Structure 1
Amino acid sequence: MVSTDSGSGSSARRKRADARRNEETLLDAAAAAFVASGVDVPVRDIAARAGVGIGTIYRHFPTRADLIVAVYRHQVEACAEAGPALLASSSTPHAALVRWIDLFVDFLVTKHGLAEALQSDDAAFETLHAYFIDRLVPVCAQLLDAAAAAGEIRPDMDAYELLRGVGNLCIGADDNPRYDARRLVGLLTEGLRLR
């Protein structure tokens, strides 16, 4: 007996992989649009960046809140996944930490307008801060622990405290073109080093 559905499993997996890639492309386009124009950017602009129709966006994300939450989670996941990869590929744990903090700053910058949305009464946003903490603090702690174990940084740095400090340095970067948050964050990470 010959099976008539040979390959249907691989076809379904390929379709799922394509759908994931398409969704990631859409989320990356939305994030870029948020950076450029804030979270209130017209959906048609996001669709144009992603190379899809507006209907495709609404099919995946029926409301703006759904899209904002998905972009936020996508970026948190990308930042979380980058930590171990940087630790494995960087010349030193401190170099990995610095590169990861730089990605974290990029993430904070892409939250342009998101803070205001997160303060709204929309229930979709309620769990995002806890999700952010749960995913990123352990990654930062892993990088700090590796750098401390290598004797590169002070051993008493708390991951939550560091992320909070970096976040505070990034506040106001949008409002003042003379304010260089990235330079100040660089001074902070350099200050962690043992002399």
Structure 2
Amino acid sequence: MAERRLRADALSNRARIVQVARDLLSSTSELPMNAVAKAAGVGQGTLYRNFPTREALLAEVYRADVDQLVASAGTLLGEHDAATAFRRWLDNVADYARVKRGVLAALEPGSGHELAASHTGPIGEAIDRLLAAGREEGTIRADVTSRDVLILLGFLSRLDEASAAESAHHILDLIFHGLRTRGGERPRAEGAAETGG
């Protein structure tokens, strides 16, 4: 019982460290480890036991954000129609992009790009799931691929904070409306006869 409680405490400490680091990245790319430990309410020993280097902590912040973003696709599809789920998922992408900008700014360029590239697959799979649901519903264009969407979303991690705060959701709206079938209506079956003007 005591061992289980210790394990739960250790997991709680680790999760708190990651969340604190995530929050601090919104205000600084320096991310001093002593500031993380202080804000998380843990000792330096606990911090370094979980994350031996600053790079390891940054990688975990990024991984946790990717996991959360990917998982949210299924959650949203379970709660909304496909088009609404996709649009709300794009709002989650805006939050993820903010964290990604912070992580990449805090890492050496080479390791930052390598980290981002290593997580493209799961994000692409989440997009494929959303696209498939939208096509089934008839609200998302059939000619759009997850690669297309990833390219369109790539701009978010390149915006500075001021630009992102001002325009990210507006630009996501533009992207989303470009993905939709005309007027959001169910597309005709291939070869169906045209009717009316």
- Within-5 A mapping of 1:8-87: 8=1, 12-38=3-29, 40-87=30-77
Task: Specify the alignment match of 2:134 in structure 1.
Answer: 147
1:177 and 1:67, CA in 2 relative to 1: closer, same or farther beyond 3 A?
A: closer
1:161 equivalent in alignment to 2:151? no
For 1:183 and 1:29, locate their aligned partners in 2 and report how far apart those are by CA, in whole Å: 28
1:182 equivalent in alignment to 2:169? yes
CA drift at 1:97: 1.0
For 2:155 and 2:113, locate their aligned partners in 1 and report how far apart those are by CA, in whole Å: 21
The 3-state SS of whatever aligns with 2:143 is coil
For 1:178 and 1:20, locate their aligned partners in 2 and report how far apart those are by CA, in whole Å: 33
Task: Specify the alignment match of 2:96 in structure 1.
Answer: 107
Q: Which runs of 5+ in 2 are unaligned?
A: 184-197
For 2:44 and 2:3, locate their aligned partners in 1 and report how far apart those are by CA, in whole Å: 25
The normalised TM-score by structure 1 is 0.81
Contact 1:169/1:185, CA 8 A, preserved across alignment: no
Deviation per residue, 1:128-184 (Å, 9 max, x gap): 234311211101110111011101111221112212211214522326478512211
For 2:159 and 2:149, locate their aligned partners in 1 and report how far apart those are by CA, in whole Å: 18
Letter in 2 for 1:114: V
Among 66, 86, 96, the alignment partner of 1:97 is: 86
Letter in 2 for 1:171: R
Task: Specify the alignment match of 1:192 in structure 2.
Answer: 179
For 2:116 and 2:24, locate their aligned partners in 1 and report how far apart those are by CA, in whole Å: 22
Name the stretch that deviates more: 46-55 or 94-103: 46-55
The two structures, once aligned, show a CA RMSD in angstroms of 2.3
1:84 and 1:13, CA in 2 relative to 1: closer, same or farther beyond 3 A?
A: farther
For 1:148 and 1:173, locate their aligned partners in 2 and report how far apart those are by CA, in whole Å: 34
Determine what percentage of the aligned residue pairs are the same residue.
29
Task: Specify the alignment match of 1:172 in structure 2.
Answer: 159
1:168 and 1:15, CA in 2 relative to 1: closer, same or farther beyond 3 A?
A: same
For 1:156 and 1:177, locate their aligned partners in 2 and report how far apart those are by CA, in whole Å: 28
Contact 1:173/1:179, CA 8 A, preserved across alignment: no
The normalised TM-score by structure 2 is 0.80
CA drift at 1:70: 1.0
CA drift at 1:114: 2.7
Aligned length: 181
Q: Which runs of 5+ in 1 are unaligned?
A: 1-7
CA drift at 1:45: 2.3
